[in-house]
Every structure is written in C-alpha cells, then in structure tokens.
C-alpha cells in the first residue's frame, strides 16, 4: 500500500503539486518595502518604497557592497558561445558564476531551452531590464531570452536559464513575475515559461502567440492571485490581447482583445470596418497595476494600426490608446478611458498606471494616475473611471492644442484629448511634437504628493508617404524630416491640479524610484543619482554608467540597499 502511494506521488507531474513557500501571492499586493516582488515592486505601480534607512541625510553614505560583471547573455547551442567557437580563456561566454568581480567557485548551471539553434542569440554582457525581483535574499533578473538567480549577499550567479530564440524583435524585456517558487518569463519568440526558483529548471512552457505572425513577447508577467497576466506585442497588425494563465499549468484562463474581433462587439463602430478593428492593434507590452479591493487590473493599450496612415475610419479606434480596467476574475472590461484616442503618431499608451488612495477635492479617493506617450497626465477615479484631471506636459506639445505649454486643452466631454488632424503625418509635412515620454516608469510619492515622470521635447516634420486609402500596415507609410530637440526633464506633477511643480533637466530616463526617506533615485549624469524628492535637489551620485533598468531598493540582512543594473554589470549599494 505504501509503495502504491509512493508510485502515485511520483506519477504526479511536478507542476500539479500544490505550491507552498517561496513568494506568497498575498505578499505581492503589500506596499513596497522589504522585498521587490513584481515589475513595479508592488502592484500599485507607485514605485514608492516605505523604507527610510536611506534618507535625505544618510544617502550620502551609500557605498558599493558588491559589483557583478559576470552576468552574460547566452548564445549558441549550450549558452556558452557560438557553435564551433574556440573556448575563451577564463570560462568564455558562459553564464556568469563570478562573484564580486573576483571569480572563484563553480560556474552557475545553465538551463537550456527554446526552439532555435542559438544562432539568433547574442552573447555578451547582459542587458538587464525591467523589473528585477528580490525575494528571500535572492535576486531574479532578466534580459531578453535569459533569466538569472543571483545571491543578493555577494552577487554570485546561482543559475542561468537560457532560451534559444527563433529570432524576432528582441531588444528589451520588462522583467519577470513570481508565484510561490515559480518564476514566470516571456520569451520574445512568443512562449511563456515557468521556472523553478530554486534550480532554474523549467516547470512548463506555453506558446502565447504566433511567432510566424510576427508577434513578440517582452512583457513582464504579473501575478494576481492565481492569475498570471501576460501581454504580447506584434510588428504587423495581428489581433492584440492580454491573457491570464494558470500559474501551475500555464493553461489559458481568459483572453481580452484590445479591439472588437466579432460583429456587434463594443467599440467596433469606432472603426472603418470589422476587419479594420480586428487588425487595429492596441498591444500591451508594459505591465499594469492591480487594485485588490476592486479586483481591477488596470493597464494601457498601444497604438492602433496602421499607426500613421488611413484605413481606420474617423472614429476613436477603441480600445487602442486607452487605459482599461479589467476584472481579473472574469477577464471582462469594466471601464475604459481614452488616453490617446485615434492615435496617429505611434504613441502607445502602455505606461504603467499608478494607483493611490489620496485626498482629492476634499475627500479621500481611490485614484489612478497615468502619464502617456502623447504627453498628457491623467487622474481618474479607479473604481468608476470618472475623469478628474487632464493636463499637458512638454515644451512643444502641439499635436492636439497650440504649442504653448499653457495653451487651452482640446478635450471631449469625457476629458479625453482630441487630436488636431492637421498634425497627423501629411503629404506636405506637418510640424508636430515627437514622443513626450515613453515606457520608463514614473513614480508617485504620497509624502510629497508629486507624480514624477520624464519629459522629452522634440519637434519634427512628419510626412505621409503612403496615401493609399487602404492604409499601410504596422508602422509603415510615414517618413521623418527636419527635427529639433530641447532638453529632457523629470517633471514633478501636483496630482491634485495636474500642474508641474518643478522640473529638473536630465540626460534621459530608464525609470524612477521614490522612498519614504524622501529620496528619489534615477539614472542621470552617467550613473545612479539620488535627489531630494520634494525639491529635485541632487544629494548623491555615482558614475557607474547609465542604468539599463529602473533602480530598486529593498532590505538585506536588516539594511536597506539600492540595486542598479547597467550595461556592464549589476551593483548593490548599502549604507556605511
């Protein structure tokens, strides 16, 4: 009898064994503090840490705890180099293993998967991007087609998961998700994988979209209870969707398309035809945020397709360029708000929304805030979608209203921005602003009441090169001309008014972090920089090279630390 039971247990696939330990999904919804458990640190999207050890007084005492320069992306059949490559001295390309820059110890195991040959992968210093997780003293980091577990105590690589890609669009990743002892990751050639957090071994993998139809998948899986929410991008104009997977099996729980796929579905009347809607784009390639009280997952959708040309009709092209609130249990949309309706400039509205309970209009409200690529800042009631504020960002943002920053806004009754069609790409050229911001995540500090986001300023001539009334495909049919750039800033926006309280010039942005210590961390001046969050006054910096992922903070052995990744390595800073 005992033998029978044992055999039965052995016969049960590992993935069906109920998961315990590791990261409790309930902890993912807790405010950001000791651990970093999802893309934004917590599910509110604030990127605001309640840690205070590092504050405006102590930040100057930060120093390097360790530097790991041995994290390398894999290539070839085994991840250690191209096929037939001569072994390089000192271990060659292989998946790290060094520690503290000093080497020693056995190389980390490389777990190889994927359906390519490895020829499409590129060896070299890892381009770590997106959300880096920190759970149980282990750092989980990713670059396209690669995931690493790293000991947070000394930077030692513990394991390296390497995916042999079939190719496709593959330059960046938004990171990984975690549920108990499982790590989830999207591969650019359109598979989702579940990896054992302890060993790096693959638990399951599921195809999430069709590589042959030029989908690419770089989003960070978001764990909401027993849902793994993933998104996928597309280079042409195939239907766009997010879907929810079962964490233990990868089976699909629900799927939500960004546009109508069948006659009679909501939004179809905002397109030239059902076919235009089906191929209307609106991909989701940046994670959203989650409100556990309402069970709403809030996320943004990308630009419509064709991006620049005709063929979509004159309507709003719903639900592209929108903020969507989705019931995570049903996968049904509860409300939407158009952040870039009928977009004609490839301005994805996929930026991560920020959820906060804060005073507005004299009472506490459940808010959602978002700054989108078209250069507008929005505040809504996240329960109902009620519009509260729309304001304009940028020095030369003229696509919807006059170029002056304080010019009257052009909004519909819902508070949604209405573009000026004369600022679309025109055959004769139009003088119009470029992206005001993009995917680098914003942060919100409840202490300062400020929403921080980068602001780019560029004017250029846009030309329509494909006037065919059928419209082009994807991003086709346009051409650029003369352009002018003004400085890039970090804007500090008063969420109660939408007005910019101050702005501070920077070289660019990969994303921001604010803390209860009154500090904001960012990439600038060739490295990691700390500002006073309230004023933008520089407090500390270290020239480690421009960051490749937003900075993060968490607690390690009772000390608050700051994690930064660049193109050359991973750095962990602690207070002296």
Partner 1 sequence: MISKKSLITGCMAGLVLTCLAIAQGPPAGGRGGSGAARAAGGRGGGGGGRAGGFTQYTRPLASADVIARGKALYDSNCSSCHATDLRGVPGKGINILRQTLADKQGELVTAQIKKHNPTINFSDPDSLATAEYIHSVLARMGGQGSPPRSDETPELNILVGNAKDGEAYFAKNCTSCHSLTGDMKGIASKYADARALQNGWVGGTLPIAGGGGRGPGGGGRGGGAGGQATVTMPNGTKFEGRLVRKDDFLVILTLADGTRKVFPMDVAGAPKVDVVDPQAAHKKMVLALDDPDNKNLHDVTAYLWTLK
Q: Which is nearer to partner 1, 170 or 181 (CB)?
A: 170
Nearest distance from C-beta of residue 480 to partner 1, angstroms: 7
- Within 10 Å of residue 55's Cβ, how many Cβ atoms? 17
Nearest distance from C-beta of residue 52 to partner 1, angstroms: 24
Parallel, antiparallel or unpaired: strands 322-327 and 332-338: antiparallel
Q: Which is nearer to partner 1, 262 or 330 (CB)?
A: 262
CB 303 within 8 Å of CB 341: no
Nearest distance from C-beta of residue 22 to partner 1, angstroms: 28
Nearest distance from C-beta of residue 58 to partner 1, angstroms: 17
Nearest distance from C-beta of residue 277 to partner 1, angstroms: 14
Q: Which is nearer to partner 1, 36 or 399 (CB)?
A: 399
Parallel, antiparallel or unpaired: strands 182-187 and 133-135: unpaired
Nearest distance from C-beta of residue 416 to partner 1, angstroms: 19
Among 547, 555, 525, which Cα is nearest to 130's? Answer: 547
Element at 2 (helix H, strand E)? helix 2-11
- Within 10 Å of residue 270's Cβ, how many Cβ atoms? 24
Q: Which is nearer to partner 1, 397 or 445 (CB)?
A: 397
CB 22 within 8 Å of CB 181: yes
What is the spatial distance between Cα 306 and Cα 304, in angstroms, rounded to a whole number? 6
Nearest distance from C-beta of residue 237 to partner 1, angstroms: 6
Q: What is the largest CA-CA distance in the chain?
A: 83
What are the backbone angles phi and psi of residue 245, rounded to the nearest 5°? -115, 150
Q: How long, in residues, is the chain?
A: 576
Nearest distance from C-beta of residue 107 to partner 1, angstroms: 26
Coil, strand or helix: which one is 9?
Answer: helix
**Where does residue 535 rank: exposed (0-12), middle (13-18), buried (19+ CB within 10 A)?**
middle
Q: Which is nearer to partner 1, 61 or 422 (CB)?
A: 422
Nearest distance from C-beta of residue 272 to partner 1, angstroms: 9
What is the spatial distance between Cα 191 and Cα 202, in angstroms, rounded to a whole number? 12
Nearest distance from C-beta of residue 55 to partner 1, angstroms: 19
Parallel, antiparallel or unpaired: strands 513-515 and 48-49: parallel
**Where does residue 363 rank: exposed (0-12), middle (13-18), buried (19+ CB within 10 A)?**
exposed
Q: Which is nearer to partner 1, 389 or 400 (CB)?
A: 400
Residue 229, beta-bridge partner list: 222, 244
Strands (E), 373-426: 376-381, 387-392
CB 418 within 8 Å of CB 341: yes
Q: Which is nearer to partner 1, 395 or 493 (CB)?
A: 395
Instruction: Tell whether omega for the bond before 319 is within 30 degrees of 0, i.e. cis.
Output: yes
Among 100, 34, 33, 43, which Cα is nearest to 66's? Answer: 100
Each residue of 130-169: b (16+ CB within 10 Å) or e?
Answer: bbbbbbeeebbbbbbbbbbbbebeebbbbbbbbbbbbebb
What are the backbone angles phi and psi of residue 60, rounded to the nearest 5°? -65, -15
Nearest distance from C-beta of residue 429 to partner 1, angstroms: 6
Residue 529, beta-bridge partner list: 522, 541
Q: Which is nearer to partner 1, 135 or 539 (CB)?
A: 539
Q: Which is nearer to partner 1, 273 or 330 (CB)?
A: 273
Nearest distance from C-beta of residue 229 to partner 1, angstroms: 16
Nearest distance from C-beta of residue 69 to partner 1, angstroms: 23
Q: Which is nearer to partner 1, 27 or 207 (CB)?
A: 207
CB 393 within 8 Å of CB 491: yes
Q: Which is nearer to partner 1, 380 or 442 (CB)?
A: 442
Q: Which is nearer to partner 1, 330 or 543 (CB)?
A: 543
Q: Which is nearer to partner 1, 107 or 525 (CB)?
A: 525
CB 19 within 8 Å of CB 182: yes
What is the spatial distance between Cα 321 and Cα 167, in angstroms, rounded to a whole number? 28
- Within 10 Å of residue 271's Cβ, how many Cβ atoms? 25
């Amino acid at each position: 009898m005992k033998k029978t039971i044992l055999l039965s247990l052995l016969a049960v696939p590992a993935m069906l064994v109920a998961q315990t330990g590791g990261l409790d999904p309930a902890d993912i919804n807790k405010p950001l503090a000791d651990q970093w458990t999802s893309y934004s640190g917590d599910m509110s999207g604030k990127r605001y840490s309640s840690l205070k050890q590092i504050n405006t007084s102590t930040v100057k005492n930060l120093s390097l705890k360790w530097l790991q320069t041995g994290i390398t992306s894999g290539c070839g059949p085994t991840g250690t180099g191209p096929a037939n490559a001569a072994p390089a001295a000192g271990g060659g390309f292989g998946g790290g293993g060094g520690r503290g820059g000093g080497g020693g110890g056995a190389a980390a195991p490389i777990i190889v998967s994927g359906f390519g040959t490895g020829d499409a992968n590129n060896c070299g210093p890892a381009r770590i991007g997106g959300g880096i997780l920190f759970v149980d003293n282990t750092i989980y980091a990713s670059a396209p087609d690669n995931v690493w577990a790293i000991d947070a105590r000394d930077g030692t690589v513990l394991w390296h998961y390497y995916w042999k890609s079939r190719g496709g669009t593959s330059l960046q990743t938004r990171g990984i998700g975690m549920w108990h002892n499982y790590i989830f990751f999207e591969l650019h050639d359109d598979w989702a994988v579940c990896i054992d957090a302890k060993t790096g071994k693959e638990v399951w993998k599921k195809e999430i979209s069709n590589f042959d139809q030029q989908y690419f998948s770089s989003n960070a899986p978001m764990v909401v209870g027993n849902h793994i929410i993933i998104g996928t991008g597309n280079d042409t104009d195939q239907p766009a969707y997010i879907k929810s997977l079962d964490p233990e099996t990868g089976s699909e729980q629900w799927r939500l398309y960004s546009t109508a796929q069948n006659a009679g579905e909501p939004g179809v009347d905002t397109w030239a035809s059902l076919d235009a809607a089906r191929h209307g784009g609106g991909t989701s390639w940046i994670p959203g945020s989650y409100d556990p009280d309402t069970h709403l997952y809030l996320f943004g959708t990308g630009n419509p397709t064709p991006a620049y040309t005709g063929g979509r009709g004159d309507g709003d092209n719903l639900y592209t360029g929108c903020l969507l609130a989705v019931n995570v249990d049903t996968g049904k949309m509860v409300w939407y708000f158009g952040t870039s309706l009928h977009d004609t400039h490839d301005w994805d509205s996929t930026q991560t929304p920020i959820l906060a309970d804060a005073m507005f209009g004299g009472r506490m409200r459940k808010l959602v805030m978002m700054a989108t690529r078209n250069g507008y800042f929005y505040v809504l009631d996240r329960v109902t979608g009620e519009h509260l504020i729309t304001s304009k960002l940028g020095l030369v943002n003229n696509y919807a209203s006059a170029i002056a920053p304080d010019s009257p806004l052009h909004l519909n009754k819902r508070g949604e921005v209405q573009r000026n069609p004369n600022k679309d790409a025109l055959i004769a050229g139009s003088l119009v602003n470029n992206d005001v911001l993009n995917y680098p995540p914003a942060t919100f500090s409840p202490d300062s009441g400020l929403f921080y986001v980068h602001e780019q300023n560029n004017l250029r001539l846009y030309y329509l090169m494909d006037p065919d009334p059928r419209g082009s495909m994807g991003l086709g049919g346009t051409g650029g001309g003369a352009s002018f750039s003004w400085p890039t800033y970090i804007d500090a926006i008063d969420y109660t008014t939408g007005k910019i309280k101050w702005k501070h010039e920077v070289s660019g942005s990969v994303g921001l972090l604010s803390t209860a210590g009154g500090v904001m961390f960012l990439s600038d001046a060739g490295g990691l920089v700390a500002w006073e969050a309230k004023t933008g006054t520089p407090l500390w910096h270290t020239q480690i090279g421009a960051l490749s992922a937003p900075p993060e903070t968490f607690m390690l052995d009772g000390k608050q630390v700051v994690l930064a990744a660049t193109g050359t390595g991973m750095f962990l800073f602690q207070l002296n």
